[in-house]
Amino acid sequence: MPRTDFLKETRIHDFSYNKKNELCCEKVPLRKILEKTGSPAYIYSSKTILEHLGKLQRAFRSVRPLICYSVKANANLAILKTLVRKGAGLDIVSGGELFRAGKVKCPGRKIVYAGVGKKDGEIRAAIRARILLFNVESVPELERINEIAKKMRRRVDVSLRINPNVDPHTHDYITTGKAETKFGIDFDRAREVYLASQKLTHARLSGVHVHIGSQIETGEPFVEAFRKILSFIDELEAAGVRIRFLNLGGGLGVIYSDENPQTADEFARKILPLFKKRKFQIIFEPGRFIVANAGVLAAKVLYLKETGVKKFLITDAGMNDLIRPAFYNAYHAIWPVMKRKDAKRWVFDVVGPICESGDFFAKGRELPEMRPGEFLAIMTAGAYGFTMSSNYNSRGRACEVLVKGGSFRVVRKRESYQDLVRGERI
Ligand code: LLP
C-alpha cells in the first residue's frame, strides 16, 4: 500500500499554500527563495522555532526551567542566536559546539556539556568558558575532569548521567536509556560515585542528568525514568549529598506524518506533579521539538524515470543532504512547492543522485505528479537534517535560509568546489 502524505497544514509549523497555490514559509513563497539561492536549500521559519521554545517555556513556567536547546539538532548560528536571544541556553556535545555557543555569545552559565568521549582540550575550553555543568558519562571521565580542573585551579559543577534502564519505544539508534547502550552510569555504580564524591577536590557532583532517547511520543517512558531518578535523589539526599540541578534531557517526539505525540502542555501535566516541592533547578535539552517542524529541504526535480516496475522522481538533493530516510528509514512528507490543481497522483520513489540504493527520500509514496524543473519540499527536516549532512560524492552542502515574516536571509552559503578541497594537499 502506498502511503500518502499526512503532515497537515496545522498549528505545528508555518509552511502553507497561498492563494496562488505556492508553498510559503511564513509569508515568503519558497519559489522566490529558490530563484535566488538555487537548490537544494534548507529553509527555516524563525516563527516556528520561537513558538516551540515558547510552548515549553509556558508549559513549565511554574518551575522556571533552564531550557538548553540541543545544538546537535541544528547548529546554524542564526538559529542559535534566535533562541539564545529569547533566553534559551545550549546543550553541547563537542568543542565545536562550544565554539558555536561562543559565537552567539551564549553565557557559560547556560551551557551544559554531554557526550561519552570528551577530550582534554575540549574539557579545558569548557572550563575556561565557565559552563554551568558537565554531564559526565563514566568514572574515568569524572576523574579526568577533576584532574584538569585542579590543574586550572578551578572548581566545576558536574552531573552524572544516569542510565535508568527504561525503554523509550523509539528507533534503536536513538534509544539511549537502556542498560545495553553506551550512555550514562547505572544506579548502583552512580550511588557509589556520589557517596564518594568528597574525594573529588575540584569537581562538585551537584547535578543529576538523564536522557533516555529521542522522538519519544508518549509521557510514560519519561515518567518511569523520572520516578526512578527522583527516588535515587531521595536516597542521595538522605545520605547527605545535595543535588542542585536536575537535567531531564530532551527526547520529545514531533509529528512527521500521522504520529500523535504529546504536546508540551500534556508533557508538563504528566511531569510537573512529580516535581512538586522539589528545590532543584530543572534543565531540559530539547532539540527536535524546537526545530524539526521549522525546516524543510527544498529540492528540484531533475528527471522523471520510469522503469518496468517503478516511477522515480530524481531530485538534486541526495542522502548527503538529508540522511534520515537512509539511516533510520525515517518518514518525511513531501509537498510540491507549486501545487497544480490538475496534477494526477502517482506512486513514486523519490531519490537523489548519489551512487547508493539507500539514497532515497520516500519509497512507494503517492504524490501529485511533478515535472522536471519543479521544486518539492521535504518536510520536517529542521532537526538532524543539515547537521548530519556530508560531502559524500564530493557534493557541496546545501545553503540554509532563515525566514522571518515577509523577509528571508541566507544564513549559510552553499558550499563551493573550493570549499570541498580546502585544507587538502597534493
Ligand atoms: N540531550 C542528549 C544527551 C542527547 O543525546 C540528545 C540527542 C538530546 C538531548 C536532544 O534530543 P531531542 O530532543 O532532539 O530528541 N539523529 C537522530 C537523533 C539523534 C539524537 C541524539 N541525541 C535523528 O535524526 O532522529
Pocket test for ligand 1, best of 49, 68, 214 (most atoms within 8 A of CB): 214
For ligand 1, the distance from its centroid to the CA atom of residue 103, given in whole angstroms, is 22
Catalytic residues: 355
State the SS3 of 305-321.
Answer: EECCCCEEEEECCCCCC
Give the ligand 1 atom nearest the CA of 250.
13
For ligand 1, the distance from its centroid to the CA atom of residue 2, given in whole angstroms, is 29
- Which CATH number do you get for residue 14? 2.40.37.10
Q: Is residue 420 part of a domain?
A: no
Pocket test for ligand 1, best of 182, 288, 329 (most atoms within 8 A of CB): 288
Pocket, ligand 1, Cβ cutoff 6 A: 70, 73, 91, 114, 174, 176, 211, 214-215, 249-252, 285-289, 324, 328, 384
Q: Which residue has the higher pLDDT, 214 or 12?
A: 214
Q: Is residue 421 part of a domain?
A: no
Query: Is the same domain home to 283 and 296?
Result: no
Q: pLDDT digits over 109-129, tens only?
A: 999 999 999 999 999 999 999
Query: Is the same domain home to 331 and 255?
Result: no
Give the ligand 1 atom nearest the CA of 213.
15
Query: Is the same domain home to 112 and 16?
Result: no
The Cα 316–Cα 384 span in angstroms is 19
Query: Is the same domain home to 331 and 393?
Result: yes
Q: Is residue 150 part of a domain?
A: yes
Residue whose entry in the numeric block shows the C-alpha cell 494526477? 344
For ligand 1, the distance from its centroid to the CA atom of residue 287, given in whole angstroms, is 6
Q: Is residue 424 part of a domain?
A: no
Q: What is the pLDDT of residue 276?
A: 85
Give the ligand 1 atom nearest the CA of 209.
3
Q: Is residue 65 part of a domain?
A: yes
Residue percentage of the chain with pLDDT more than 70: 97
Query: Is the same domain home to 125 and 199?
Result: yes
Q: What is the pLDDT of residue 11?
A: 67
What is the Cβ-side half-sphere exposure of residue 155, based on CA atoms within 13 angstroms? 6
Ligand 1 atom 24 nearest Cα: 384
Last residue of some domain: 291, 306, 324? 291
- Which CATH number do you get for residue 181? 3.20.20.10
Contact of 177 with 210, CB cutoff 8 Å? yes
The Cα 223–Cα 84 span in angstroms is 28
Query: Is the same domain home to 207 and 86?
Result: yes
Domain containing residue 320: 3-45+292-413
Q: pLDDT digits over 302-338, tens only?
A: 999 999 999 999 999 999 999 999 999 999 999 999 9
For residue 64, count other CB atoms closer than 10 A to its CB: 9
Q: Is residue 210 part of a domain?
A: yes
Residue whose entry in the numeric block shows the C-alpha cell 527504561? 166
For 388, residues 6+ apart whose C-beta sits below 8 A from its C-beta are 322, 323, 324, 327
Give the ligand 1 atom nearest the CA of 388.
16
For ligand 1, the distance from its centroid to the CA atom of residue 414, given in whole angstroms, is 26
Query: Is the same domain home to 249 and 302?
Result: no
3-state helix, strand, coil in the chain (%, to 5): 35, 25, 40
The Cα 198–Cα 206 span in angstroms is 11
Query: Is the same domain home to 304 and 212?
Result: no
Number of domains comprising the chain? 2
Q: What is the pLDDT of residue 171?
A: 84
